[in-house]
Chains A and B, each alone.
Chain A
């Protein structure tokens, strides 16, 4: 048997992520002892109506989330226990709600930092209703072989090591969540393990005291001895001693109290839990508590280190007197399935990757571009063109190449509101569309007729150079197989009205001592085409393309330069329209040639 938590315990968890984590731990225990999950519902208003998925073995169980305790117990009439994981400022309200529900008999509050007055009010309210309010700051309650409430007991491996899958003979009550597992472990190593272990919380005035649980343990025939782990401050241990000494008790009591170090510390210095406050005139000190327990007949080892042997001694006596029998260990225990991540870490499985990347790795403390940490690139003076080089061409480009790219970006960042990309973005912005969608609207204008000729221009100039064509051969080839030469021709610029951007870029690149076969070829082509018609000049797309091919960028990346630089402009246009609070655009009637048929009568439907 056990106290407080048993195989009939059905739980509602009040709270969000922390509560879900607890439910996962509880599910691990349920799986270990081969019982269904004991968490029936969550109460967490922001997520009401959703479900939380709790892994159980290799499956997933969906647990519903409700807005109120009343809704939860209405849908799950077996719920009798609540675990409170909500924040300290709302914990009292949540705890009261649970206590006031007639279905719920036990409320265990895990929340830390609950104001003392709130905790006292909760404790008093529970006593009035004849219910149990455990905590606050409780690590949980665990009954070996039957029920776990909260994360007490720790990880799955620890549950197994501490033999929590089957019942022992020792009850445990601790104020310290951190020590609960230690005591459970000691009980399983020096004796046959525990019945129930309770974390009552380290606050000054927890909702329940040792005595209420000692009474329950006294009435639980399976529990033969109880270990209490106390600390200086308050009077919980004195009350336990008083209870134990008041009459002959069936259970044996073993106790340790911390805080002896206080005696040799500078006056007034105290630490540990909030509850570990120095009492007046020696009351509440570790020494007086230990003495009180000893006097009442409890076994009080002199140090924590001697606790294990004291438990062993008690267990041997219990064995000798026939009160307990050596436990029988189960032949096979369920094993918690490993997650893929764990199994991979242990080199137990190989998973075929879904995608492959060769440029970027963000798994460390910062992203690496083609192996170079981003911060190191920054700190060593590299700039955005180098990042483009690494991510688009997997190489660390030179300072000179970076300068060319920088100039290309600056020259093509924006070409005014009238080009189709900017116009589309402005139109979308005026219609109230968000930034990313508006920019995307402008971006999809990039195609064969607007800004999308960079890749194709690069491709065909390169084709000509690679195949050692002369200009005439090239123009003939294009006419026959492709069509107009991409990168040649402009809507508004011409020989008489040249494009300054092209002149600027060509002038800069030619001033460098680098080989530019594509650019040279493109300029040759321009000479021939412009002689035929004076607007068939080399345009920005063609110039960018030729230069970028010359410095080695892959053909398929070339349009990217236009997309990237023009994005700067498109964002600018969107922000500009927002700033002006621009109104919805409607095309003026006079800009439309209504070439549709004149108004006429609709014929009857046949």
Chain B
């Protein structure tokens, strides 16, 4: 899943014929001031300015301002750019025309196991959350296109009547076309509004999740994907992502501030069980990490260095199941190099390291880890005969 910010999300919708407000994305107040002189619509209509970042509850944070004229929008942009919210610095602001409207509706398309679902409600905004039963669904098998009859029936079921039925059906149809052609996994417009000037349905907001795996067939996806968890990626996270994009196999890293148990497990499946075990024993995770698919040792070394640099950690869990083909000796070589570097940089003081692993060249790999004891590491090494997550129990024993 790959989250896309509102600007590029609206761009994709516009591409498939969905009416969206006029908008610009700017990185400075000066840029907006210049655009304000060049664009008639910015002079004519009231404007909305929003921080263009992957942030939840922007309204509450004062990062959404409505009913502005150009000068006020420039002032709002000046105020928002550079603001620090948690780990995110606001670097972009989206300024769009305000669409005067009375009615608000809801439309979404989501991926399901068999295909997709089109969701429509004749209420919108925060009303949808509390009236989920008013959301009506049209289920489609993969490869199937919705008929206009089915879309009109959906709109009718959702409570639309008169000329709005056809308009909503059309809107939902275009949403589906966008979803289907853009390899989306989730599209949501909330609210859909009726533009007072011409009675057309307009998308006032866009939540867009695309299938990052399909990027190869979308050369026009020239925007960056945003982090999905309500904060920007840290530099270390981005460093690991950069390594990940270059190698065969994978390395993954997400920081969790405030934790004391650092994770360095192998495998996308096992890593979650290890994290579960930490939580089950009352530990506090300092990160999530994972390497798999026989990555090169230097990539594992980079990951290890990041993990050793996490603040206030007491234990490092180097866990892993019995690998199919990941070379234990080689990947452990990367981990060992990372440990040595961290130690020579004065890190890993009073940090205990716990190792459990199996797979190709397990004996050589585990022996090399064990030998770190002689270099003064507080390391505890176990083989396949120790059940997978038992090292977590041992590490977190009070």
Query: Which residues of A pack against B, CB within 8 Å?
Result: 21, 25, 88-89, 112-118, 120-121, 123-124, 139, 151-155, 158, 161, 174-182, 185-186, 202, 204-205, 209, 229, 231, 234-235, 256, 258-261, 263-274, 276-277, 286, 302-305, 308
* A117, B214: Cβ atoms closer than 8 Å: yes
B388 cross-chain contacts in A, Cβ below 8 A: 182, 304-305
A25 cross-chain contacts in B, Cβ below 8 A: 325
Which of B76-84, B270-278, B301-309, B346-354 lies at the binding interface?
A: B270-278
Of B111, B277, B293, which one neighbours A304 at CB under 8 angstroms? B277
Say whether, besides A178-B269, A258-B272, A305-B388, A268 and B254 are in contact (CB < 8 Å): no
Asked whether B324 is an interface residue with its Cβ less than 8 Å from the other chain, the reply is yes
| Distance between Cα atoms of A478 and B374 in the complex (Å) | 70
Query: Which residues of B pack against A, CB within 8 Å?
Result: 1, 56, 111, 113-115, 141-143, 180, 183, 185, 211, 213-214, 216-217, 228-230, 252, 254, 256, 266-273, 275-280, 285, 288, 290, 292-293, 320-325, 358-360, 384, 387-390, 393
Distance in Å: Cβ of B73 to nearest Cβ of chain A: 29
Say whether, besides A158-B359, A178-B270, A277-B1, A263 and B279 are in contact (CB < 8 Å): yes
* A151, B325: Cβ atoms closer than 8 Å: yes
* A272, B272: Cβ atoms closer than 8 Å: yes
A302 cross-chain contacts in B, Cβ below 8 A: 280
* B211, A116: Cβ atoms closer than 8 Å: yes
A113 cross-chain contacts in B, Cβ below 8 A: 213
| Distance between Cα atoms of A266 and B259 in the complex (Å) | 11
Of B214, B285, B387, which one neighbours A115 at CB under 8 angstroms? B214
Of B211, B256, B270, B280, which one neighbours A260 at CB under 8 angstroms? B280
Kindly name the residue among B230, B278, B280 whose own CB sees the greatest number of chain A CB atoms within 10 A: B280
* A154, B322: Cβ atoms closer than 8 Å: yes
A259 cross-chain contacts in B, Cβ below 8 A: 272, 276
11 CB-based A-B contacts, threshold 8 Å? A115-B213, A115-B217, A124-B142, A151-B324, A178-B269, A178-B321, A229-B269, A234-B113, A260-B280, A263-B279, A268-B229
* B271, A272: Cβ atoms closer than 8 Å: yes
Residue of B nearest to A308 (CB): B387
| Distance between Cα atoms of A128 and B294 in the complex (Å) | 36
B269 cross-chain contacts in A, Cβ below 8 A: 174-179, 202, 229, 231, 258, 272-273
Residue of B nearest to A88 (CB): B213
| Distance between Cα atoms of A274 and B279 in the complex (Å) | 22
* A303, B277: Cβ atoms closer than 8 Å: yes
* A304, B358: Cβ atoms closer than 8 Å: no
A-B contact count (CB 8 A): 181
Say whether, besides A116-B213, A181-B321, A260 and B276 are in contact (CB < 8 Å): yes
Distance in Å: Cβ of B184 to nearest Cβ of chain A: 9
* B256, A179: Cβ atoms closer than 8 Å: no
Distance in Å: Cβ of A119 to nearest Cβ of chain B: 9
| Distance between Cα atoms of A305 and B386 in the complex (Å) | 10
Kindly name the residue among B211, B213, B293 whose own CB sees the greatest number of chain A CB atoms within 10 A: B213
* A88, B216: Cβ atoms closer than 8 Å: yes
Say whether, besides A261-B278, A305-B388, A305-B393, A178 and B256 are in contact (CB < 8 Å): no
| Distance between Cα atoms of A180 and B267 in the complex (Å) | 11
Distance in Å: Cβ of A89 to nearest Cβ of chain B: 5
Residue of B nearest to A155 (CB): B360
| Distance between Cα atoms of A264 and B213 in the complex (Å) | 29
| Distance between Cα atoms of A259 and B180 in the complex (Å) | 30
A182 cross-chain contacts in B, Cβ below 8 A: 270, 321-322, 358, 388
A305 cross-chain contacts in B, Cβ below 8 A: 277, 387-390, 393
A123 cross-chain contacts in B, Cβ below 8 A: 142
Say whether, besides A116-B185, A303-B389, A305-B387, A179 and B321 are in contact (CB < 8 Å): yes
* B276, A202: Cβ atoms closer than 8 Å: no
B292 cross-chain contacts in A, Cβ below 8 A: 177-178
| Distance between Cα atoms of A175 and B280 in the complex (Å) | 22
Distance in Å: Cβ of A20 to nearest Cβ of chain B: 13
* A154, B211: Cβ atoms closer than 8 Å: no
Distance in Å: Cβ of A341 to nearest Cβ of chain B: 13
* B270, A176: Cβ atoms closer than 8 Å: yes
Say whether, besides A176-B270, A263-B279, A205 and B111 are in contact (CB < 8 Å): yes
- Return the 8 tightest CB-CB contacts between A and B, nearest first: A176-B269, A178-B267, A182-B321, A115-B214, A181-B322, A120-B142, A261-B275, A258-B272
Distance in Å: Cβ of A149 to nearest Cβ of chain B: 13
Of B185, B216, B256, which one neighbours A265 at CB under 8 angstroms? B256
| Distance between Cα atoms of A153 and B325 in the complex (Å) | 9
Distance in Å: Cβ of B320 to nearest Cβ of chain A: 8
Of A112, A178, A265, A276, which one neighbours B323 at CB under 8 angstroms? A178
